[in-house]
Amino acid sequence: MDWHFAATAFATAITIIDPIGMIPLTVTTTTNCAPAKRARVVDQAIAVAAAVMLAMGFVGSALLGYLGITLPAFGIAGGILLFLIAIDMLFARQTGARATSDEERDVGENPAVFPLAIPMIAGPGTLATVMLLVNLAHGDVAKDAMLALAYGAALAITWLFMRGAARYMHRIGTTGVHVVTRVLGIILAALAVQFVINGILQTPLVHH
């Protein structure tokens, strides 16, 4: 088993989805929902996000090949995008890499698909990371299984936090959520830089 790949997959899945960061977002977007409806909204959001990530995992490699995008180039681009999200998490700065302010305000009667599933859970950074890790797995069944397990676990944890969002928000408080989000932001920033470094080292120009 490739423990380095497994650790990278789990760390990236948890930090990019940011389950604790979904607590205030869930409370805000479901504030007018009855408890039963709030539970359904969370279930639907997780299901839609999982389906989108799974689809991207299957078609990502073919899409990159069709567009002529190399893995190093995608690694560098994905690392830059993840770094923008890390800055957002660290400094509470709205970069628009995850969701714009207009998107966050535009909440309909059922916020499950938008904005909870897309772009808050399965946003550009998450999808880019899924595609990047799938390509790094190079079709290895064991690595693909680890990747699926990592994102499945991250979604399960996110579901638990979203289901009990109001209760957790009361116990942890806004300050607690911000502290955890910033710690995850530091980890995500380091992972983003590593993706960029790996991409640069893998480019043909560097080897020449």
Instruction: Write out pLDDT tens, residues 116-151.
Output: 999 889 988 899 899 999 988 988 999 999 999 999
Query: Quick one: pLDDT at residue 96?
Result: 54
CB 115 within 8 A of CB 29: yes
Query: Quick one: pLDDT at residue 69?
Result: 85
* Count of structural domains, the chain: 1
What CATH number is attached to the domain comprising 24? 1.20.1250
In order, the DSSP letters of 89-134 are HHHT---SSS--HHHHH---S-TIIIIIIIIIIS-HHHHHHHHHHH
Q: Chain-wide mean pLDDT for the chain?
A: 87
Write down the pTM of the prediction.
0.81
Residues in Cβ contact with 67 at an 8 Å cutoff, skipping those fewer than 6 apart: none
Cα–Cα distance between 6 and 37 in angstroms, integer? 36
Does pLDDT of 115 surpass 60?
A: yes
Residue span of the structural domain in which 125 resides: 3-207
Query: Quick one: pLDDT at residue 202?
Result: 85
Query: Quick one: pLDDT at residue 66?
Result: 87
